[in-house]
Amino acid sequence: EGGAKVIKEGTLTVCTHLPYKPFQFPQGGETVGFDVDMMDLVAKKLDLEQEIFDTPFEGIQSGESLNTGKCDIAAAGMTITDERKRVIDFSDPYFDATQALLVKSDASYSSLEDLSGKTIGVQEGTTGEQYAKDNAPDDVEVRSFEDLALLCAAVKTGQIDAGINDNGVLYDYVKENPDTAVATEFDTGEQYGFAVKKDGNDGLLEVTNKVIADAKSDGTYDEIYKKWFGD
Ligand code: ARG
């Protein structure tokens, strides 16, 4: 198909950072999720097998993983930003998101101002980390966690007062953890994109964009959405 290039014959190597449920997470010895299903469509289109490479988000968003050839494409619930566009090439947007605030369900925090003097957890290298640094009151301690699971657990156990991450993953978390709640959303107007090496794989990007567009128009996207987010 077209000029799509892959680093390993017969394989679409996909960089992501686990767990990021419901976009990518381990289940029964496999990695599953919304992004995994989308990448399966791309792999199928190219007659390849998807192979997932789990690596810290910091290196995915900085371009390190893609530009040093660790993977062909990144699918990690990753927001398209101008800064990242300088180091990696994004597909068309495939999902809308905003930042949101995770708290214990009995907490009374509903804004960043309410957290004055408290500790907010964020995930390393994410837009949520940047949002907290830019918008939290000066006396808030912003603490970075390596992954989403560690961040959510720290809120649940009361080790920190609140956490900031994307709305989709936090709503998913509170469903299974009713002692936590999403207190508010911050309306950051983000869009997720898949990404390839900078100026390095227009062929793969084209196929990916076509797969996104086709899935949206033929109902496959809605099916995948329902599977992971419900109605
Ligand atoms: N959307 C946010 C960002 O792009 C968070 C993504 C985190 N993804 C992950 N797989 N851990 O910064």
The answer to whether the CB of 101 falls within 8 A of the CB of 162 is yes
Same domain, 15 and 54: yes
CA distance 1 to 204: 9
Same domain, 177 and 110: yes
Same domain, 197 and 221: yes
Quick one: what percent of the chain has pLDDT higher than 90?
Answer: 98
Same domain, 82 and 113: no
**123 domain residue, yes or no:** yes
Nearest to 23 by CA among 166, 162, 227, 228: 228
Given CA atoms 143, 147, 153, 155 in this order, what sign does their dihedral have? Answer: positive
Q: What is the tens place of the pLDDT at every residue in 16-50? A: 999 999 999 999 999 999 999 999 999 999 999 99
Ligand 1 atom index nearest CA of 190: 1
What rounded mean pLDDT belongs to the chain?
97
List residues near ligand 1 (CB under 6 A): 16-17, 20, 57, 76-79, 97, 126-127, 148, 166
The number of domains in the chain is 2
Give the dihedral of Cα atoms 16, 171, 229, 85; nearest 10 deg. Answer: -40
CA distance 41 to 43: 5
Same domain, 83 and 197: yes
Q: What is the tens place of the pLDDT at every residue in 172-206? A: 999 999 999 999 999 999 999 999 999 989 999 99
**6 domain residue, yes or no:** no
Q: What is the tens place of the pLDDT at every residue in 115-133? A: 999 999 999 999 999 999 9
- What is the CATH number for 56? 3.40.190.10
Same domain, 165 and 221: no
Same domain, 71 and 128: no
Indicate if the pLDDT at residue 14 is higher than 70: yes
Find the 20 Cα to ligand 1 centroid distance in Å.
8
Tokens of 134: 């830019």
Range of the domain at 65: 11-95+191-229
